[in-house]
């Protein structure tokens, strides 16, 4: 059936109005990276960056730094017929939102590409990236590759894990013995609270449960829900971890940190991101509230 053009216009306008009313807005404009900043570590010796100094061992002597991307690590491309951010992974570094976020629900899609780069290109090495949130340090501060923050891990087979990057946060979990004999901690809502902190002498990683990642090459939907001192990692519609009491530990005593920019990592693997959007919240969405 053919509908009058005015009728189609009303439908489209109505859809746009519903979209606006639900509170979602783009965190990435789908055209360029003007709403984000870049910072890149020293590239691997296998990368060619004209004009950058190398030592006698052939290694670069300094980071590429901020607002420079001679290797085109961060670009906007067409992927599966739609606009996406391509992160090549050739140099370790960050794509950081200019906006600081607090009390929000963030949603994005990602999928892995094919390319892997030194030092993470050996057979069997898992492709790696990450979503850092509540970021509370400048790029490269303290000589760190990754700014102090909390990581929703994006790595093959580990999507949804926590790394408390130079910070601390609590998660209910249970310990288990891994194949290599080390103790790892799995998220378990019936477990005991444990403080995680990726600093020497402490445990920085908590493993998500369950594994809800799609096969490599397919698009995955991630959601990050942050409200006050609570955060939730969601993978393809499934809660895989609940976290509480985020603290920054770069001062005299730990203090709460509940807002900040977000970062998408470049960490040796090609990865694509699209549909990055955010919604302000005053309560945990009903679909993800604790029963």
Confidence at residue 158, expressed as pLDDT on a 0 to 100 scale: 97
115, exposed or middle or buried, with CB in 10 Å at 0-12, 13-18, 19+?
A: middle
**pLDDT in 10s for each residue of the chain, 291 residues:** 554 554 445 444 444 444 456 899 999 999 999 999 999 999 999 999 999 999 999 999 999 999 999 999 999 999 999 999 999 999 999 999 999 999 999 999 999 999 999 999 999 999 999 999 999 999 999 999 999 999 999 999 999 999 999 999 999 999 999 888 899 999 999 999 999 999 998 999 999 999 999 999 999 999 999 999 999 999 999 999 999 999 999 999 999 999 999 999 999 999 999 999 999 999 999 999 997
Confidence at residue 276, expressed as pLDDT on a 0 to 100 scale: 98
Residue with tokens 């290694």: 59
**Fold of the domain built from segment(s) 30-288:** Jelly Rolls (2.60.120)
User: Is there a contact between 42 and 94 (Cβ–Cβ < 8 Å)?
Assistant: no
User: Is there a contact between 195 and 170 (Cβ–Cβ < 8 Å)?
Assistant: yes
Q: How many helices (H) and strands (E) does the chain have?
A: 1, 22
Confidence at residue 179, expressed as pLDDT on a 0 to 100 scale: 84
List 244's β-bridge partners, or say none: 170, 230
Distance between CA 25 and CA 277 in Å, rounded? Answer: 5
| Domain edges within the chain | 30-288
> Cis peptide leading into 45, omega within 30 of 0?
no
Confidence at residue 291, expressed as pLDDT on a 0 to 100 scale: 77
86: its two tokens: 């391509």
User: Is there a contact between 227 and 220 (Cβ–Cβ < 8 Å)?
Assistant: no
């Amino acid at each position: 059936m053919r509908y009058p053009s005015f009728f189609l216009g009303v439908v489209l306008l109505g859809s746009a109005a519903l979209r606006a009313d639900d509170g979602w807005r783009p965190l990435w404009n789908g055209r360029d990276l003007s709403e984000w900043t870049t910072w890149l570590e020293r590239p691997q010796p296998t990368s060619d960056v004209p004009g950058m100094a190398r030592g006698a061992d052939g290694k670069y002597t300094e980071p590429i730094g901020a607002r420079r991307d001679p290797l085109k690590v961060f670009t906007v491309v067409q992927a599966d017929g739609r606009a996406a951010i391509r992160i090549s992974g050739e140099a370790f570094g960050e794509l950081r939102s200019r906006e600081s976020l607090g009390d929000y629900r963030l949603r994005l899609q990602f999928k892995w590409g094919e390319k892997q780069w030194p030092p993470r290109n050996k057979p069997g090495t898992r492709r790696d990236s990450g979503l850092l949130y509540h970021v509370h340090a400048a790029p490269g501060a303290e000589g760190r590759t990754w700014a102090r923050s909390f990581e929703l891990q994006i790595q093959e087979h580990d999507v949804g894990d926590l790394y408390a990057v130079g910070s601390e946060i609590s998660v209910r979990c249970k310990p288990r013995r891994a194949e290599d004999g080390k103790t790892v901690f799995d998220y378990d809502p019936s477990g005991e609270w444990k403080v995680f902190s990726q600093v020497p002498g402490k445990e920085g990683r908590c493993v998500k449960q369950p594994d809800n990642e799609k096969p490599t090459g397919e698009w995955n939907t991630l959601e990050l829900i942050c409200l006050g001192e609570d955060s939730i990692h969601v993978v393809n519609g499934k809660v895989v971890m609940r976290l509480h009491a985020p603290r920054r530990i770069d001062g005299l005593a730990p203090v709460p940190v509940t807002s900040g920019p977000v970062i998408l990592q470049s960490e040796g693997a090609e990865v694509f991101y699209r549909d990055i959007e955010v919604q302000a919240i005053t309560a945990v969405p009903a679909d993800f509230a604790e029963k």
